A and B are shown apart, each in its own frame.
Chain A
């Protein structure tokens, strides 16, 4: 081997610079983000309208039973829900962008969002707006949307597997979106339509402990699974042929990961309604912070997603006396954030 390149000094330097130092740096960054998340969570617990915007002081909390109940029964479940949903949407967005090798993919595509919305709308129209029924219907239809996209993709005779799934997802989304439109047209404009619209805009204002606990096990399980697969995601982003030659059953593993991702998404959407942009923006941000390696990127996306969603929900419940729909806020902040990200000089997607 050529002597120019193989000096052991260079090798030692490269090793210290590229490998160890960057792992140490990324661990510090993750710890920092985790600390930030804890702070945001803790502050948000005591922050809000009661009845004026501000923090509830410990002294006030000790003697005010109403404040205690507010924090324990309203804010805490709501915060946990924001955390779960933020982590889910951001993490799933990252996973999907890797699996589809496309930085513009978001969790709801593959028909999941629109199918869940359709499920919720049908349930509101036919069964009335009972919370747990809407929730179950949203999850079931979300999974049905995925199944439909998958079956359709198998029949598309154009492009590779990834492109076919993408195309099928677009078609299925459009189909359910038109279904939602039809239901909105049929719905009683005084009783049902506001419920449907409210759900489509996304909100955590009526979240309960029961709703949070109903999805907590499923989402936690899914997130842990995705986290365990984080190195494998780097691999699954490559072309079929390459993944295959590296001894990995590409499509089987992608399908497993996607299924988990969609289950998490559907479960999140089922308690919050449609919340856009988090799953698109946060993974981009995470990749810019941590580089393309999803060993660091995925945990970064989890933490950033949690922080972003908690802050958005804080704003949603305090900016005005009434609630601002959460989905509206995330889209607003998300779109602005996206524009800033894309127009900055060093874009690394």
Chain B
């Protein structure tokens, strides 16, 4: 078991003007070099947790540690070099080329007046290659399908070369082929020592990929642990609030409702 790279201790977060807490006393540790998946119903606080993990919002109470330093002690740029985010969706107002869009992932490694150099272009191209978008490179961002755009966001995060990769429902728009490609890509990243923290609503993706699973409900962690310990019908049923059954078919885990 490796040391935790990211730790949440009794973290409380309430959105401005919101009537209730999004996270209430959440404690969590994300082991380095592994894949940790967060499962939970809509509104459980999964996305909020990710936002706090890359320093977008500061907790009102509790502590967040990254690499054994308080998260708040990192500068914006230092955080960008260490933590990369693949958001659920984002607006793209202008018709950037794919390469240009992925190059933006180099920003944390460049000073404000610096331009990306040939080495940065090289990094961006291999990120595009990894997610399989290289053949589409002449298109613009606005000509991509939803799934292709999601892969592009992954490529941008890869170009960031961070040690901790956060993905917010990364497979939500992907077809089966691309889902498999992304899972393989994330597995390769883990082999190379990248820590991955992702949220998902897709049990098959989680079961195929995760070392650790965190079950969340109502802004708190219900249970966390190794996949085998947590992948139990009663725990999952409690998380989603409906009766669920766990199956194993040809060595793969499935989850169905009754």
**A residues whose Cβ falls under 8 Å from a Cβ of B:** 1-2, 5-6, 10-11, 14-15, 17-19, 22, 98, 101-103, 157, 228-229, 231-232, 234-235, 237-239, 241-242, 244-249, 253, 287, 291-293, 295, 348-349
Contacts and interface: CB of A to CB of B under 8 A. Distances in A.
Nearest to A101: B93
B45 interface: no
Contact of B121 (A19, A239, A244): A19
Given A1-B129, A19-B121, A247 B96 contact: no
Contacts of A348: 95, 140
B83 A245 contact: yes
Given A241-B87, A245-B56, A253-B112, A235 B104 contact: yes
Given A11-B134, A19-B99, 18 more contacts: A6-B134, A10-B135, A18-B137, A228-B113, A231-B115, A231-B116, A232-B113, A234-B96, A239-B90, A244-B54, A245-B56, A246-B80, A247-B76, A247-B81, A248-B107, A291-B96, A292-B94, A292-B96
Contacts of A18: 97, 99, 137-138
A2 B181 contact: yes
B29 interface: no
5 contacts: A14-B137, A234-B104, A245-B80, A246-B105, A287-B94
Nearest to B129: A6
Contacts of B97: 18, 22, 291-293
Contacts of A237: 93-94
B76 A248 contact: yes
Contacts of A101: 91, 93-94
B237 interface: no
Pick the 10 closest A-B CB pairs, nearest first.
A247-B80, A247-B108, A245-B85, A292-B94, A101-B93, A246-B107, A247-B77, A292-B96, A292-B95, A228-B113
A17 B121 contact: no
A166 to B, nearest CB: 13
Contacts of A10: 134-135
Given A5-B135, A17-B138, A241-B56, A229 B188 contact: no
B63 interface: no
B93 A103 contact: yes
Interface string B111-135: 0111110000100010001101011
B79 interface: yes
A19 B105 CA distance: 17
A103 B94 CA distance: 8
B180 to A, nearest CB: 10
A115 to B, nearest CB: 27
A11 B93 contact: no
Interface residues of B, number: 49
Contacts of B93: 101-103, 237
Contacts of A5: 129, 132, 134-135
A242 B90 contact: yes
Interface in B14-37: 17
Interface string B68-87: 00000000111111011101
Contacts of A234: 96, 100, 104
A86 B80 CA distance: 37
Nearest to A293: B100
Contacts of B55: 244
Contacts of B184: 1
B220 interface: no
B199 interface: no
B160 interface: yes
A238 B90 contact: yes
Contacts of B107: 232, 235, 246-248
Contacts of B130: 1
A11 B121 CA distance: 12
Nearest to B159: A246
A228 B135 CA distance: 32
Nearest to B177: A2
**Which among B55, B78, B92 has the highest number of chain A CB atoms within 10 Å?**
B92
Contacts of B100: 234, 292-293
